Structure 1
Amino acid sequence: MAGCLAITCAPAAAQIPQFLETPPISYLETPPDDAITRLQRRVDAGEVRLTFAKQHGYLKSVLKHLHVSAESQALVFSKTSFQSARISSKRPRAIYFGDDVYIGWVNGGDMEFSVVDPKLGTNFYVLRQQEAAKPKFSHRTQECLQCHSSALTLAVPGHMVRSVYVRPDGEPDYEAGTFLTDSTSPFKQRWGGWYVTGTHGSQRHLGNLQLAEGEKAADVNVDKGANVTDLSTRFETSAYLTPHSDIVALMVLEHQTALHNRLTRASFLTRMALYEDRTHPNEDRSAETERTMRESADALVQQLLFVGEMRLTDSIAGTSGFREQFAARGPRDSQGRSLRDFDIETRLFKHPCSYLIYSRAFDSLPQPLKQVVYRRLWNVLTAAETDDAFSHLTATDRTVILGILRETKQNLPAYWSLKSRQTTTSTE
């Protein structure tokens, strides 16, 4: 069976949640609108030609047209995919990602795609690695939602990065424990079943390791997987676009997948609540809907501002150039500052507000919800209200983030305008 991306797939199948099959979500009936459908239209119209290469098939061409960099490459060797028979520590699966698309490449297998859709959350596709004049991306739903619509993805079609202990045969040892990882996860729980290239000082993780025959998780020598910068002794790196599985890219991947899920959940819950209110057209918005939006906005703002982020105790350095490539994308304000600037000394980003605030997924949030999100963000960044959850943000952090957003984020509410604030202050 052809696979879906399944960055890390659960061992047991799950049923599609009923709310996905009914309005206002109607996941199975609503036509997708995402990066893959747009690319397919251009291919069909003859505007784009996907070129096929002997070694990597359509990989390079697809990355180019989806604006995804090879430097984002992360390599996973655990058998957590529908194409698990093709995956091993000697033949890891490569993951590449942009702001709204995740691509899986298996040597000799199909390409897999997990793509952000502002209305549907996530869509899944497969591209056969067979040369054709106009190759077709095949839309998948049921089999991919087995893993990608569960409690692990906030019960919405989404993405996940899991860390697992891997047995000698490459299969995950679920009894040894697994971890769903994001920006809050302890360093020591991350990247089991993944290759990791880069330096990280005395901090230790589970990457680059496999359980020996009969070995228990508690007995694993994590030092063996630490500060690895060269994978060439572990597998044939020349078979891949780059020889790296960059630690900085992995940290961004963890943050991004979790926030995409949060954006989808906030959107779905609000849309369902507003849809329910439509059955009572002569009444004001219900208290339940207001509560749903308030709670969804609060959870989203916390994730946007990296509440609970794990603190680094040593600096991080990748190997692929991902850090520089990612940061160069901007946008930047008049002082040259960007939400894509890295810190990686004590935290991931220098200015801890997620760059996904520029995404289609954020911009497509229901307008009533977005209004609540913007007000909550404003109150936090201007210290109009105090909340211990945001104590990690210094006064300088808040001022800088506010300044960057004012100059780089389009369609902010009028009260975010510096001119508006100055006018208000002068008349008070």
Structure 2
Amino acid sequence: MRLLAILALLSFAPVQATERDAHADLDTAPHLYWETHPKDRFTQLADAIEAGRISLTPGDELSVLHQLLDELDIPVSSQLLVFSATSLQSGLINANRPRAIYFNDDTSVGYVPGGRFEILSIDPALGAIFYIFDIPRDGRLPVIDRSTRCMNCHSGERQNFVPSHAVESAIPSITGGTLEAFRRNQFGHGIPFEERFGGWHITGEGSIKKHHGNLVGKLSPKGLQTQYFRPGEHFNWSNYPVQTSDMLAHLLHEHQAGFINLVIEGTYRARHAQHLSNGQLTQEQQSLLDQHAQKIVRYILFADEVPLPPGGIAGDPAYKTAFQKFNRHALPNHHNASLRDLDLRTRLLRFRCSYMIHTELWDQMPAPLKDRVHHHLASALNLTNPHPAYAYLPPTEKQAIRIILTQTKHLTFP
């Protein structure tokens, strides 16, 4: 049986709720984070494994990893390599043995050679759900534990006290320990490249040269000194299924983390407000939700996206193909346009509207939040009365986005 830590989080002291973060008292109504059985992608797989409907055939690490990624519909080409020791398996992670992360729109798998699998899977109502388990060996089935310790970093103040993504940038030492950290309270596509990728390996960086990727640090009397580590120089690529930690995967992962964190926080805030008001929101509650809805719309329409430097990036061909095929709801419509179409010359996407609209997280937003998001989205894409905050979107691009959303999400626009 999976071990569910329901009644207490024994590995850390509880956060005292304040007026600011009272929306995220996870253990109590209306959230009941630990009492509610999640419905995320990985929990469904874990249920099937425990029931014997699906099995992971024991074998070498890489063969089991491939099986797991196939079951979760995660492309192996999404591989990101991080060598800062920021994991439950921090003792294993350093520049000589980076941790690999594989992801799709709602699930991430962490893999350390010689270690355990770590899972972050998004439940539309509860947010991030965390699991850890041994790689099956010698005919033994995996014991899949729902982790409480991950909450230390994934539901603290930097995540506004809701269970969500934590993406940081740091200069680690050769052993993985952090020497200097950047952008710890920020996430998403608006962060300058100069503050990103610390502690991560980067391949295929294209024109994005000014960043903290591929650097290890050393303290000296002159202060922090950094050294460039070429990916694969201090570890064996054969321990990983592919030889990439591609810039495109990094940029998309960062974008998704920003989207997920904003929507999860909004979901918790809306549910808490409904609970306090018995469904009849006060004017103050409506105003706060409206402000958050505007933040979500601004984010999904890439209002603050950092532009790519001249020359852009190419993107790993295997990952580009896998990314554009992933979500059936985002397939091209009869106008041959999709929210997963890439630009990569001056910006990330051809149409500046997040493909993450095509996720259960978006679909299952509480009505008080979702209605406001739709209202502000319609205003932002209005063609006859353009909103000045979205003047960066030309009418042709707005029209293309409207057509895609009308056909794939059945949204209506004035």
Which bin holds the TM-score, normalised by the shorter protein?
A: 0.7 to 0.9
Equivalent residue for 1:139, pick from 130, 133, 146: 146
Distance 1:216 1:268, change over 3 A: farther
Write the distance in 2 (CA, Å) between the matches of 1:178 and 1:184.
11
Query: Pairwise mapping of residues 130-169 of structure 1 onto structure 2 (< 5 A)?
Result: 130-131=136-137, 132=139, 134-141=141-148, 143-169=149-175
Q: Give the secondary-structure state (helix, strand or coil) at the position aligned to 1:59.
A: helix
Q: 2:407 corresponds to which residue?
A: 407
Deviation, 1:383, is 4.0
Q: Give yes or no for contact 1:211–1:217 (8 Å, CA) kept in 2.
A: no
The reply on whether 1:114 has 2:85 as its aligned counterpart is: no
Cα distance, 1:182 vs structure 2: 2.0
Offset, 1:155: 2.2
Aligned counterpart, 2:323:
326
Contact 1:259 1:303 in 2 (8 A): yes
The one of 97, 106, 111 aligned to 2:103? 97
Which of 300, 306, 322 is 1:304 aligned to? 300
| 1:44-193 aligned within 5 A | 44-56=50-62, 58-131=64-137, 132=139, 134-141=141-148, 143-174=149-180, 177=182, 179=184, 180-193=186-199
Percent identity between the two aligned chains? 32
Shift, 1:391, TM fit: 2.9
- Following superposition of structure 1 onto structure 2, how do residues 12-411 of structure 1 map, counting pairs within 5 Å? 15-16=14-15, 18=17, 19-56=25-62, 58-131=64-137, 132=139, 134-141=141-148, 143-174=149-180, 177=182, 179=184, 180-201=186-207, 203-214=209-220, 220=226, 224=228, 231-278=231-278, 284-314=280-310, 315-319=312-316, 321-329=318-326, 330-383=330-383, 386-409=386-409, 411=410
User: 1:167 offset after TM fit, Å?
Assistant: 1.8
3-state SS of the aligned residue for 1:114? strand
The structure-2 alpha-carbon separation of the partners of 1:87 and 1:58, relative to structure 1 and needing over 3 Å to count, comes to same
Distance 1:13 1:185 in 2: 30
- Alpha carbons 2:79, 2:246 under 8 Å: kept: yes
Aligned AA for 1:355?
Answer: Y
Q: 2: CA distance between counterparts of 1:306 and 1:50? A: 39
Q: Secondary structure at the match of 1:53?
A: coil
Q: TM-score scaled by structure 1? A: 0.85
Check the 8 A contact 2:121/2:129 in 1, yes or no. yes
In the alignment, structure 2 segments of 5+ residues that lack a partner are 1-10, 18-24
Tell me the distance in 1 between the aligned counterparts of 2:179 and 2:317: 30
Q: For the structure 1 residues 53 and 311, does the alpha-carbon distance in structure 2 shift closer, same or farther, using more than 3 Å as the test? A: same
Instruction: Give the Cα–Cα distance (whole angstroms) in 1 for the partners of residues 40 and 93 of structure 2.
Output: 28
Instruction: Tell me: CA distance 1:383–1:360, structure 2 relative to 1, closer, same or farther (3 Å).
Output: same
State the secondary structure of the residue aligned to 2:150.
Answer: helix
Structure 2 contact 189–306 (Cα < 8 Å) conserved:
yes
State the secondary structure of the residue aligned to 1:346. Answer: coil
Residue 20 of structure 2 is matched in structure 1 by: none
Give the distance between the partners of 1:251 and 1:217, measured in 2 at CA: 30
Q: Is the 8 A contact 1:259 1:304 kept in 2?
A: yes
Moved more, 377-386 or 393-402: 377-386
Q: Specify the SS of the correspondent of 2:130.
A: strand
Alignment-mate amino acid for residue 136 of structure 2: Q
Specify whether residues 216 and 115 from structure 1 end up closer, same or farther in structure 2 by C-alpha distance, changes over 3 A only: farther
- Is the contact between residue 219 and residue 225 of structure 2 (CA under 8 Å) also seen in structure 1? no
TM-score scaled by length of structure 2: 0.88
Alpha-carbon shift at residue 68 of structure 1 (Å): 0.3
Kept after mapping to 2: 8 A contact 1:16/1:145: no
1:208–1:68 CA distance, 2 compared to 1 (3 A) = same
Per the alignment, in what secondary structure is the counterpart of residue 250 of structure 1? helix
| Compared CA separation, residues 382 and 17, structure 1 to 2 (3 A) | farther
- Equivalent residue of 2:172, what SS? coil
Change (3 A) 1:144 1:202: closer
Q: Work out the CA distance in 1 between the residues paired with 2:222 and 2:145.
A: 41
User: Would you say the 8 A contact 2:58–2:140 is kept in 1?
Assistant: no
What is the CA-CA distance between 1:58 and the residue it aligns to?
2.9
- Alignment partners' CA distance in 2, 1:343 and 1:215: 45
Structure 1 CA distance, aligned partners of 2:283 and 2:384?
24
1:205 is displaced (CA, Å) by 1.2
Cα 1:44–1:55, aligned 2, differ >3 Å: closer, same or farther?
A: closer
Q: CA deviation at 1:361?
A: 0.6
Q: How many residues align?
A: 391
Contact 1:200–1:316 (Cα < 8 Å) also in 2: yes
User: Would the alpha carbon gap of residues 121 and 136 (structure 1) be closer, same or farther in structure 2, given more than 3 Å must change?
Assistant: same
Contact 2:218 2:225 in 1 (8 A): no
Cα offset, 1:365, TM superposition: 0.6
SS of 2:88 mapped into structure 1: coil
Inter-partner Cα distance in structure 1 for 2:141 and 2:218: 46
Decide whether the 8 Å contact of 1:237 with 1:243 is kept in 2: yes
3-state SS of paired residue (1:321):
helix
Offset, 1:57: 6.2
Which segment is superposed worse, 182-191 or 148-157? 148-157
Which amino acid counterpart does residue 208 of structure 1 have in structure 2? N
How far apart are 1:13 and its partner, in Å? Answer: 6.6
